[in-house]
Every structure is written in structure tokens, then in C-alpha cells.
A and B are shown apart, each in its own frame.
Chain A
């Protein structure tokens, strides 16, 4: 229980991490799931350094929110050249800081379910939020969000808190996109199916879902790819919902005060090539942002392919988030 209550003086040494500011060092602020040994980070670093004659340095912050926080705090004196790991939920707030510069690179190669024309943010992967279920415990999962909302109390699910977690916020937006004004009532109807609401995805997935506490958990439509390709099991699958699935796009951006803008643009350009993207499917367990052709692992063909992509404009999300959260809280607290 101490892990979180004790992170004392978190700020003091963080600047110590960005060591070695040589002339040819590109500093990228990112989060652990990208930079970790099993993430795409190490492979990407090797591939980029191979072609750039430079050093790629990751500064790892706890989450997308922390990357943004750090950027705001450092302002114009930031060491970051590129921020990588923001998403559609945080990018509007990042835009408002005025600390990001236009990427001015061509986005034709992008292969997303929506049209993307943003002058600041370059997508590097994407995925759908989805409920992953245990086929052994739940042979017949709900076929729509509506069916889930009206499911009998015996069907218990694990979700994440929209106040602290990205998928948690994703579900809030998903419900909003499907139900609009009725979202509050629908949350109330769903509440007796919610076993618990965890702080982060890991807490729910490891401590509860893997222990069989509930047959269904809020996750990504791509999660089964990992279980199928690496664990070699088809036991965990994503439930496809008729209303469609909410989209998450992860993005990177160029930092305005950076003195390495040319190199940073090279990196963003490199991000949309196969040398970067081939590390995404199984290491970030998301869809690559470009068409990888035959390089896309075979298991990705066996994932659900939602007919309908749900997406609310990030600017609207930034504006309404607080009132939507209040609506959720009021629905959930009796």
C-alpha cells in the first residue's frame, strides 16, 4: 500500500535523467509501456540510430498525463525534442500549452479508421477500446453495449476509473458517443454489473481478471493478439459490439523550444515507416499507423473488425470532460 503514498520528492531528480545532451542527441519524452524492454522503444532506438548518426534518448514519465504535466512545468526550458505517448484524450490540453510546433510532414501514408489532418500531432498507433472476455467463463458475451447495460446482475465486469486511467476515460466517451444525453441513466443501469473500478489497467488485468474474478474487463480490441501470438491461447477474446467501438489514437509531436527541430522532424517522418511501425503490433499491442502489408502479424486478422468507429472530436472532449465526469459520478454514487 505504500507504493503510491510514498513517492516522495518525485520531482527532484527527474531532470537528472536526461543526461548526455550532446549535439546529436534527440530527447524523447515517453511513457514506460513504450520504452520498456518488451515495448517497441529499444527496437525503435536501434533502427533510428542506425540511420540518423545520432543518439536517441528516452526520458520515461509515468503516463501520457505526466508527459504533458512535465512539459507544462518545464515550459520553454524543456529538454524534450519530441513527446511521444499522448493520445486523443490528452492532445487538446497539450495543444493549449502552445509548446508544440507544427510537424509539417506528409501524412498520406497514414492508415487510420478516421481521416487525420492535424498540423501538430502525428499518430503512431491506434486501437479500439473493447471488453475482453474469458471464453471459458463466458461462452456467450453480450453482442452490444445495450445488451451489456441491460445484462442480468450475474454478469460482472471490471472497468477502470475515468478519473485516473486512459481506457477508463475511453469507456466514458464510448457511452457518451452511443447514448448522448441518456449516458447518465445508462451508467446507472450498468452499475450493478460493475464488480469494481480500478485505478489503472494493470491493477484490474493482473490482480482481478487473471484471477478469474470477473469474466470481462475493459481493455483494447487488440489485447487478444498478444494472448494468441505469444501465450498461444485463444481463451481471451474481445466482444464485438453492434453500436461500434471507441477509437484511441496515440500521437507524437514536435516540441517548440527544441533546438533539434530538423532531427526531430526526421524522427517523426521515420515514425511513419515500416522500420518503426513493425515494432508496434506485438510490442505495443496496437494497430500500426501505416499499412504494414504482410508484416502485420497473422493474429491481427483474427481480431474483431468493428463496422462503426466512434470518435468524439478531441476539442469537444477537452471542453466537456469535466461535466461528463460529474454526470458519471452522479450516476454512480447513490
Chain B
């Protein structure tokens, strides 16, 4: 049995300042930067006509359409995500389960242009599925319009929701599962007593996150929307700033967007918070659910196969589109291959630090939620998401106005890209870690306090064992998001030193369509590799967790002694 170093008088990093300070700095600076960026824009512009918001028919339509498509996309993504998560939780031995999980993780981090290309290859006018359906049935399907927007948003977000929800379901403590199993709870009762409490903790956060992502969606809405009737607020902001140089109007619209998304977050976070207080004792030992048998099993299998096809077909389309180009590059070698290899290394040099930074920041911000009381908790939750709500070009322009004179010239561009990518991944990583981190129950926490298991030791012995897997997954998301990033690197990098997505866009811009399709496939492969690698700890989970949990059990036993 391992011993805690009880002898030391002061555990490292146990001072309250360490638990609140860094998180407060990160959350505070994100908020401050956003406000400063918007303020700088307004300060430069003449004051906008606020009345325009309700007088202008076009703007009114845009706001209504944006809210409508985001609400619809969010609702469908959550329902589908929940169905996937429950089916996966009920069927831990489903064949191809881990492959399906990797696909689910992948869809979110794919660059838009690649994912849309895959979706079009399957559901487009001449897509495989459309052809099959229209050949055998009288159904006429048109991708372009609200259909396509919602389909693409569900493709991106339902797997994200499903992934986080599954993690929440899996974190239900084994003793509770065991009791439920002994009592023979199934159906509604099982949902009511075990699954719903677990899901309720993370659902509001996911809903707010997905809503924000759909609300601020831009290129997808335009490509699949069919025409200007499908315009989101983000398009109107881009237009004001980029083409009309109307800073005032851009800032005004950005504030509307921030207000709508921010209100959703605040509302959701309030709702979600109370659930955190429920006592939870978590041992990550798996107990077989009693409800995964018989007819349910068949139903789950059917659902999972459908989901797998929904996710896999577009990826297969990307594979088919990209294979010729990638094979040509691999066979011919030469500069194309060298370019791709260099771009890959460069991408990882940015993405791995970015992933690590996002995970670290998320932990620090979440520490606020644990220790800093409800107000700080709410602040931390919203602050991490604020960067998603303000259009990047607004924030960028504002900050540029603000900081330009104080910045010198240097070549630290790539380090900065990693830093910004890390911050961008923060809302996702936070959602992934929130559940597991809050899983420490009151009794254990109190006991740990009494025994002086604080600071670093508390982290090492109480949190680490149960956080290992979520952390690895969070790291994979952070790395993957950075790996697929095009926006930041396009602005900060240099074209002579492209990352893989930049290379892809350069090839597109120069008509190298086949090469670009090959690069897209390569990017997909890299992302798959990242998620597969970071999920490896999961395979050794069962053996190790027993061992790691000795420490916890010691605490638990001591209580009864």
C-alpha cells in the first residue's frame, strides 16, 4: 500500500491562492481582452444606430434565421448525442465501439471545407446516398437550404455531445451501478436514478457550447444554405467590417451576438451548477448495466450502425476523393512529399503544445469552480466560452487597434499560434473535464481536508486516477483542434512555412484540386492518429485503476475504522 507523505507540514501548491489565482487570471484576461477589443472598435467608430436593429428588415431576418437554425441544430444534436451515448453506455462490448468513438471525436475537428466536401459526396445532389434513395424511392432530397445546414451542424456537434455525455454516464460510481443492478432497475427507473443525474450535470454546458457553435457558424451556412436567405449574424458582421469598413455597425452586431450567446450560457450555467453539489463517489470500475440485453440490444445495435454510417460515409468520401492525390504524392516523392512531411512536423510542433496548454488552462479555470464559490464558478464557465461568441475578425481588429503600438517585431509567430489555439480549445476541453473533476464527493473531499491531503497531493492521489482518461481525451481534442486550425495560422504564420491546413488552402487557391484532396485525406489520417494515440490509456484502464484506487480506498476505509 502506498503512503501519503503525512509528515510534511505544508503540501506544495496547497495555498488557496494557488487554487484560485491562476484560473482567475486566465478567465479574467479572456473577458478583459474581449471587452477591450469591442471597446476599441466602438471608440474608433461613430456611434452606431441602435434603432437599425429593429427597423432594418434584413437585419431582423438575419437575427431570426440565426436563432432558428441554431436552436434546431442544437436540439437535434443533443437528442441524437444522448441516444448515441446511452446506446454506447449500454453496449460496452459492441464490435467496432472504439472505432466509432474515434469517428465521433474526429468530426468536430475536421476543417470545414474538408467535412463539407465529404458531406456533399454522400448527401449532395449527386451524392451516393441521394442517388440510392432517389433510385429506389420517390423521396426527393435537397441538401441545399435549412436541411443541409442542420445536417452539417448535427454531423459536427452530435458526436461531440455524445462523446461528452458518454463520459458522464461512464463516471457514475460503480457502487451505485452495482446497487441499481442488484435492485434490477431498468428503463425509466434506471434513467431517473442513475443516468439522468449524471447527464444533467454536463447537459446545460454542452447545450450552450453547441448553440454557440451553430449560432456563429459561417462558411457552412453559406455553402449549404442555398442563398442569402440563409444568412447568419456572423456573415453580416464580416460584411460590415471587411467590405463596408463600418466599425460601429460591426461592433453593434457583435454585441448582439455576444448578448444572445452569453445569455444562453449564463442561463445554462446557473441550471447546471446545482447538480454539481450532489454527492458522488466515483470509482472507475466498470459494472455491467442490466439494461443492455435482449430487444434493447438489437435496437442499440441498429442505432449504432446507423450512426456509424452517418459519420463514416462522409469520411469514406474524403478517402475516395483524396486517395489518388495522396498516392501520387507518395509515389512521386520529390518536393510535394517533402512539403507534406515538413508541414506535418510543423503542425505537430504547434498542436501538441497547444493541446497541453489548453488542458492546463482548463484545469486552472475549473479549479475556480471547485474552490471559488458560485460566482467565480459562473465567471470561469462563461469566460472560457466568450472567445467563441465574438466574431474573430471583430476581436482581432479591435485588439489590433489597441495593441499595435506596444508590440515590437519578432519571429515568435508560431509560439503565439500555439497559445491562441490552446485558448480556442478551452471551451471544449473545459466541458470534457468538468464532469470528471466535479466527481469528487463531499465526504471524500472533507476527509482529504482533515487528513491534510491538499494541493499537489490532493491532485496526485484523488484527482489524477479518475482524470487520467478524460485528460488524455481533452489533450486529444486540444491537439486535434489546433492541428485542423486554419484561421489563426493563416493570419500569424508565414506562407513559406505552411502547416497541413495552410498547405491545403494554398493548393486550393492554386487550382491543385487533386493534391488538395490528398492533403485533406492526410490531415484526416493525422487527426485519427492523434485521437487513437491519446485514447490508448483507456485500454489498460481496468488493471491500473484498481491499483491507483488503493489510495482512495484507504481513505474510505479509514473513515469506517
B116 interfacial by beta-carbon distance below 8 Å: yes
Picked from B153, B391, B397, B417, the residue with its CB within 8 Å of the CB of A11 is: B397
When the two chains form their complex, are residues B404 and A9 in contact, meaning their CB atoms are under 8 A apart?
Answer: no
Please tell me if the beta carbons of A19 and B410 are within 8 angstroms of each other in the complex: yes
Q: Contact at A6–B487, with CB atoms within 8 Å?
A: yes
Contact B125 A12 (CB under 8 A): no
In the complex formed, the residue of B with least CB distance to A68 is B245
Partner of B219, one of A4, A14, A329: A4
Q: Does A204 contact B (CB under 8 A)?
A: yes
Task: Compute how far the CA of A334 lies from the CA of B238 in the bound complex, rounded to whole angstroms.
Answer: 23
In the complex, what distance in Å separates the CA atom of A213 from the CA atom of B127?
8
Over the window 71-96 of chain B, the binary record of Cβ atoms lying under 8 Å from chain A Cβ atoms (1 yes, 0 no) is 00000000000000000000000000
**Contact indicator A332/B510 (Cβ below 8 Å):** no
- With A13-B416, A210-B513 as contacts: A196 and B120 at CB distance below 8 Å: no
Check A11 against B403 for contact (C-beta < 8 Å): yes
B424 at the interface (CB under 8 A from A): yes
Q: Considering the complex, give the chain B residue whose CB is closest to the CB of A321.
A: B243
B400 at the interface (CB under 8 A from A): yes
A283 within 8 A of B: yes
Interface size, B (range): 35 or more
Q: Indicate if the CB atoms of A12 and B488 lie closer than 8 Å.
A: no
> Is A66 close to B, CB under 8 A?
yes
A78 CB to closest chain B CB (Å) equals 10
From the candidates A33, A61, A205, A213, name the one contacting B513 in the complex (CB within 8 A): A205
Q: Which residues of A contact B507 (CB under 8 A)?
A: 38
B205-245 CB contact bits vs A (8 Å, 1 = yes)?
00000000100111110111111110000110011011111
The answer to the question of A223 belonging to the interface, with a C-beta cut-off of 8 Å to chain B, is yes
Most chain B C-beta atoms within 10 Å of own C-beta, residue among A8, A200, A213 = A8
- Chain A, interface size: which category? 35 or more
Q: Is A208 an interface residue (CB 8 A)?
A: yes
Distance in angstroms from A205 CB to nearest chain B CB is 7
**B213 engages A1 (CB within 8 Å):** yes
Which chain A residues lie closer than 8 Å to B245 at the CB level? 69, 72, 93
B397 and A196 within 8 A (CB): no
Cβ distance B29 to chain A, nearest Cβ, rounded Å: 11
Q: Does A41 contact B (CB under 8 A)?
A: yes
Q: Does the CB pair B495–A13 fall under 8 Å? A: no
Contact at A60–B495, with CB atoms within 8 Å? yes
State whether B496 touches A332 (Cβ < 8 A): no
Give the shortest distance, in Å, between A90 (CB) and chain B (any CB).
9
Chain A residues near B239: list those with CB within 8 A: 163-164
| Cross-chain contact B225 with A164 (CB below 8 angstroms) | no
CB A169 to nearest CB in B, in angstroms, measures 8
What residues of chain A lie closer than 8 Å to B395, measured between beta carbons? 8-11
Is A65 located at the chain interface by the 8 A CB criterion? yes
CA distance A206 to B271 in the complex (A): 43
A226 close to chain B: CB less than 8 A: yes
Are B228 and A161 closer than 8 Å at their CB atoms? Answer: yes
B121 interface residue, CB < 8 Å from A? yes
Q: Is A106 part of the binding interface, using a Cβ–Cβ cutoff of 8 Å?
A: no
- Min C-beta distance of A299 to chain B, whole Å: 13
Residues of A within 8 A of B121 (CB): 211
23 A-B residue pairs with CB within 8 Å: A3-B111, A4-B218, A5-B218, A13-B413, A14-B492, A16-B410, A35-B495, A36-B506, A36-B510, A58-B495, A161-B235, A163-B235, A163-B238, A164-B222, A196-B222, A196-B224, A199-B222, A202-B113, A202-B509, A203-B116, A208-B223, A210-B517, A332-B229
A-B pairs, top 5 by smallest CB distance, nearest first, are A10-B396, A11-B400, A7-B487, A7-B392, A38-B510
